[in-house]
Amino acid sequence: MIETVRTLFGLTGDSGKRTVVGSPVGVDIKAAGYIRSSHNRLNHLKTLGSRYKGTPHEFKIKTVHEKTQNIHNYLVGKNRFTELEMFHLQNTDHFINTFALIIEVHQKNKEAKPAPAGSETPPPAGNANTFREFFTGPELVKNKNIAGVDKAINGPVGATPQLSVPDIFLDTYAQISYIGLNNTGDVVTREIGITASAQEKEAFVAAMAARIGLYKPDISYVGNALIQFPNGAAPNPTVYVPVINWKGYMYALDLNDYRLYPVRIYRKNR
């Protein structure tokens, strides 16, 4: 397998009578795995493009596939395999998951909607007309929710739920363990707290940006807080979690499933 990968990317060849100083350079098992994963993601993007054929998003997905292929070729040519994997973790995976989920939800809604008697056979998947309702945005929300809104208005007074953002307290002593990657691409366990160094906070932000698919410069680490997450269990678990700032808003980050929960830091003068 390794020899096949070396052949594909031009990493083998006759060295002739040249003398090589030091250990020979080749593609190790980890690098081969990164290349294989990169090819799988490129194939996913190509498949995604075919599923969106004839829709307003077809050109966008095709452009992303071409640019990702160029980045793959460049980084592989430079033997920068760990950077290739990090690029996919921070960008490609989130893009694929988002657009795959969109089309899957649309397909399920389409299958669940019964066809009226005497209606014509719907156009095949991939036709732009089948996606017109799905991508109209606000109009779709209005059509789907108007019956529910009427029922809520006619219901008992005070039945409408009220949303609120909880106040939290930052713990200046708590340390939280999380999973990240070191400089060689190996999975390691690290700790983060308010007293961490700038480098440690930077490493945490990079790891979380890759996990939750956010643009790294948009987020920053704030601190740790003790929070109860609403998971349906009784009682809800109380755990320490990191708090991040994303474009000026505070979020508690669940390190089990990487969900974000809006919060605000408690202040006495509020």
pLDDT digits (tens, 9 = 90+) for 186-235: 778 889 999 999 999 999 999 898 888 888 899 999 999 998 877 665 56
Mean pLDDT across 112-136: 48
Q: What are phi and psi of 132, to 5 degrees?
A: -60, -45
Give residue 69's pLDDT.
Answer: 92
> Which tops the pLDDT comparison, 3 or 265?
265
**How many helices (DSSP H) and strands (DSSP E) are in the chain?**
8, 8
pLDDT band at 152, cuts 50/70/90? very low
User: What is the 3 state secondary structure string of 234-259?
Assistant: CCCCEEEEEEEEECCEEEEECCCCCC
Whether 267 shows a pLDDT value over 60: the answer reads yes
> Which tops the pLDDT comparison, 22 or 193?
193
Give residue 128's pLDDT.
Answer: 43
> pTM higher than 0.75 for the full model?
no
- For residue 39, give every residue at least 6 positions away whose Cβ sits within 8 Å of its Cβ, in sequence order, or none: 72
Give residue 214's pLDDT.
Answer: 85
Whether 120 shows a pLDDT value over 60: the answer reads no
For residue 6, count CB atoms less than 10 angstroms from its CB and return exposed for 0-12, middle for 13-18, buried for 19 or more: middle
Structure tokens, 192: 């983060």
> Which tops the pLDDT comparison, 155 or 262?
262
**What percentage of the chain exceeds 90 in pLDDT?**
19
Which among 68, 62, 65 is positioned nearest to 87, based on CA atoms?
Answer: 68
Give residue 21's pLDDT.
Answer: 45
Range among 47-61, 112-126, 135-149 with highest mean pLDDT value: 47-61
For residue 158, the 8-state DSSP code is T
Mean pLDDT across 114-135: 47
Q: Is the dihedral of CA 204, 206, 211, 212 positive or negative?
A: positive
Mean pLDDT across 121-137: 43
Mean pLDDT across 133-161: 48
Q: Is 16 left (phi over 0), alpha (psi -120 to 50) or beta?
A: left
> Which tops the pLDDT comparison, 116 or 44?
44
Q: How many CB atoms lie within 10 A of CB 208?
A: 21
pLDDT band at 250, cuts 50/70/90? very high
**62 CA to centre of own chain:** 19
C-alpha to C-alpha distance for 37 and 157, rounded to whole angstroms? 55
Whether 15 shows a pLDDT value over 70: the answer reads no
Mean pLDDT across 134-163: 50
**What percentage of the chain exceeds 70 in pLDDT?**
68
Please, how many CA atoms are within 13 Å of residue 181, restricted to the half-sphere of its CB?
17
Give residue 117's pLDDT.
Answer: 54
Q: What is the mean pLDDT of the chain?
A: 75
Whether 127 shows a pLDDT value over 80: the answer reads no
Give residue 269's pLDDT.
Answer: 58
Give residue 197's pLDDT.
Answer: 93
pLDDT band at 90, cuts 50/70/90? confident
Contact call for residues 216 and 193 (beta carbons, < 8 A): no
- Give the helix/strand (H/E) hosting 170: strand 170-171
Mean pLDDT across 83-111: 82
CA distances from 257 to 143, 174, 209, 231, 253 (A): 32, 21, 14, 11, 9
